[in-house]
Homo-oligomer: A and B are copies of this chain.
Amino acid sequence: MNSELVIYNTLNRKKEKFEPINPPFVGMYVCGPTVYGDAHLGHARPAITFDVLFRYLQFLDYKVRYVRNITDVGHLENDADEGEDKIAKKARLDKVEPMEIVQKYVNAFHKNMEQLNTLPPSIEPHASAHIIEQSDMVKQIIKNGFAYEVNGSVYFDVEKYAKTNNYGKLSGRVLEDLQSNTRALDGQSEKKNSFDFALWKKASPEHIMRWDSEWSEGFPGWHLECSVMSTKYLGEQFDIHGGGLDLQFPHHECEIAQSKAATGIDAVKYWMHNNLITIDGQKMSKSLGNFIKLDELFVGDHKALERAYSPQITKFFILQAHYRNPLDFSNAALQASEKGLDRMFKAYDTLQNLKSSVTSTFNVNELKEKCFAALNDDLNTPGLISHLFDGVKFINSVKDGKATISETDLDELKKLYNDVLFDILGLKLEEKSSAENSILPKVVDLLLNLRLEAKKNKDFATSDKIRNELTEMGVVVKDTKDGFEWSVE
C-alpha cells in the first residue's frame, strides 16, 4: 500500500499524511445534493473531486466505503431554520407528491453522474429513510444536555456546547461575532440564541412531509441527517468527510457539534472541501440567472454558452484546476480544455501504436514518479496533467522519429496512461457522435457507386476488389436491377 498520500485537512488548516483509522479500510462521507432541481455546474465539482479520491484510494488498494447522501427532507429555503422545505415547495408548485420530485431529480442526478463517468457511491442513503435514527440522536443529545425543546421543536444549544467544546473550529467562526451578526428573524424567538439550530422542527399544518415523534409531528433539521447517516454506515469515527466550501458553515460546523454532543468523540479525522465555480468571474446565484445546468452545458443550451461542451471536456476542465482553488467558467477556458483533452487522447492513441527501439531517450520512470507525486500531494490534478503533457510531447517525438523508447519503457508508459487517465481520473473516450454514425451509409453508397461505374467500364478488377473488401469488413452487397442494396452482417 502506497503511504505517501497527503491530504489538506480543513480542520487543522494544513496538509497531513493520510493514515486511515483501520487500514486497509477507509470510510468516506460526502454531502450529496438536495434533490429539488436539475444538477448544475456547481454539483459537478464535488462529484468529480471525491470521485478521483475514491478511485485513487482504491487504486492504492484501500477498501473504501463511500457514502454520499441524498437530501430529500428538512432542507429549508433559509439556512436559519426558516422558510418552506425546498422539496415540499417544488412539489406544491408542480402539484405532485414530494417523493415524485425526489424520484425525478435523483434519476436526473444519476444520469448526469453517469455522463461524467463518476462511480456510484457504495451507499446512497436518503434522509427521509433515517427518521428513526435521527430521532434517536436527538434524544441522545437532549440526554447529554446539549439540546432543548420548545413548542414541539428541538434546538441545539450552541452556547452550552461551546463552554466545553470548540464551536467554530472548522470554519474559524467566533461565537461572539455570530451573536452580533445574526439578524433576528421571524419565528426565531423560541430559540435561546439566534445561532442555535434545529434538530427537530414541529411541522406547520400545511407541511406535507411529517413524522410522529415524542416532541411533535414534524421533521428533522437539515444538519442532522449527515451526522446520523455518516456514523450509521461508517462508525462513530471515520476517516474522510468531504463537501463544497459553501457547506463548511453552518452545515459542517453543526455536524461536528451534533456528533460530538451525541457521542462525546469527534467523528471525522480529515475534513476536505472543494472550492467553488464562478461564471465569468461572478458567483453563481439565482438572482443573476447564471446557473448553468449540466444538461444545458452538454447540449449548449444556455445564453452564456457559445456551444456545447461534452461531459468529458467538462470533467477535464475541472481536473485542470486544483480542487481547493476557485475555478472560473468561461467559454475560452472550456475550449482550451477541449483542445487539451483532444491532444491527450490523440497521444494516447498514438502511444498504442508506437514502435519500440533498443534504448529510450526519455526517463519514463521519472515521469511516473512525478505523476504519482502530484496525486499524493493533496490530489494535485493540474500538476499531474501537466506532467502527462510532457509525456505527450515525448510520445509525439517518438512517432515522428525524433526520439526512441525501449520495449520495457513502452509497456510502462502505456500502463501509466491507462492507470492515470482512466482508472484514477476517470476520463473516458467519448462515444462516436451520431454525426459520425450517419456518415457510414453515405460513404458506402459512394463506394458502391464507384463500383457500378467500374463495372460499366468493364474494370472488373476494381469492382471485384471493392466488393470483396466490403464483404471482408462484414458489409454484404447485393446487386439489384436498379443498382445495389447493402447491409451490415
Name A's B-contacting residues (CB within 8 A). Answer: 65, 96-97, 99-100, 102-103, 107, 110, 120-126, 128-132, 136, 211-212, 233, 432-433, 435-437, 439-440, 442-444, 446-447, 450, 462, 466, 469-470, 473-475, 488
Report whether A466 and B437 are in contact in the complex, using a CB–CB cutoff of 8 Å: no
- Residues of B near A450 (CB, < 8 A) are 447, 450, 462, 466
- Pick from A65, A100, A443, A444 the residue with the most CB of B within 10 Å: A443
A262 to chain B, nearest CB (A): 16
Report whether A125 and B99 are in contact in the complex, using a CB–CB cutoff of 8 Å: yes
With both beta carbons as reference points, the residue of chain B lying nearest to A229 in the complex is identified as B99
- Residues of B near A432 (CB, < 8 A) are 437, 440
Whether A446 touches B447, Cβ cut-off 8 Å, given contacts A103-B122, A124-B103, A439-B475, is yes
A-B contact pairs, 6 of them (CB 8 A): A97-B123, A126-B129, A128-B129, A132-B212, A435-B488, A447-B447
A212 to B443, CA, bound (A): 68
- Contact for A439 among B120, B132, B474, CB less than 8 A: B474
With both beta carbons as reference points, the residue of chain B lying nearest to A67 in the complex is identified as B99
A412 to B469, CA, bound (A): 42
Report whether A212 and B103 are in contact in the complex, using a CB–CB cutoff of 8 Å: no
A266 to chain B, nearest CB (A): 22
A235 to chain B, nearest CB (A): 10
- Contact for A100 among B122, B132, B136, CB less than 8 A: B122
A480 to chain B, nearest CB (A): 12
Report whether B488 and A436 are in contact in the complex, using a CB–CB cutoff of 8 Å: yes
A65 to B101, CA, bound (A): 12
- Residues of B near A96 (CB, < 8 A) are 65, 122
A446 to B473, CA, bound (A): 11
A193 to B315, CA, bound (A): 61
With both beta carbons as reference points, the residue of chain B lying nearest to A445 in the complex is identified as B469
Whether A473 touches B443, Cβ cut-off 8 Å, given contacts A99-B123, A488-B435, is yes
Report whether A440 and B447 are in contact in the complex, using a CB–CB cutoff of 8 Å: no
A397 to B96, CA, bound (A): 49
A453 to chain B, nearest CB (A): 8
With both beta carbons as reference points, the residue of chain B lying nearest to A487 in the complex is identified as B346
Report whether A100 and B126 are in contact in the complex, using a CB–CB cutoff of 8 Å: no
A438 to chain B, nearest CB (A): 9
A125 to B437, CA, bound (A): 39
A37 to chain B, nearest CB (A): 18
A25 to chain B, nearest CB (A): 11
A129 to B131, CA, bound (A): 8
A58 to B435, CA, bound (A): 33
A446 to B136, CA, bound (A): 71
A131 to B442, CA, bound (A): 59
- Residues of B near A132 (CB, < 8 A) are 131-132, 211-212
- Residues of B near A462 (CB, < 8 A) are 450
Instruction: Please give 8 more A-B residue pairs, beta carbons under 8 A apart, in addition to A439-B473, A446-B470.
Output: A97-B233, A103-B120, A110-B110, A432-B440, A436-B488, A446-B447, A446-B466, A450-B462
A96 to chain B, nearest CB (A): 8
A335 to chain B, nearest CB (A): 16
Report whether B473 and A65 are in contact in the complex, using a CB–CB cutoff of 8 Å: no
A129 to B437, CA, bound (A): 44
A476 to chain B, nearest CB (A): 12
- Contact for A65 among B100, B233, B442, B446, CB less than 8 A: B100
With both beta carbons as reference points, the residue of chain B lying nearest to A129 in the complex is identified as B129
- Residues of B near A123 (CB, < 8 A) are 97, 99-100, 102-103
With both beta carbons as reference points, the residue of chain B lying nearest to A433 in the complex is identified as B488
A51 to chain B, nearest CB (A): 15
With both beta carbons as reference points, the residue of chain B lying nearest to A437 in the complex is identified as B432
A450 to B126, CA, bound (A): 61
- Contact for A443 among B100, B122, B437, B444, CB less than 8 A: B444
A67 to B125, CA, bound (A): 19
- Residues of B near A107 (CB, < 8 A) are 120
Whether A442 touches B473, Cβ cut-off 8 Å, given contacts A437-B432, A450-B466, is yes
With both beta carbons as reference points, the residue of chain B lying nearest to A462 in the complex is identified as B450
With both beta carbons as reference points, the residue of chain B lying nearest to A97 in the complex is identified as B233
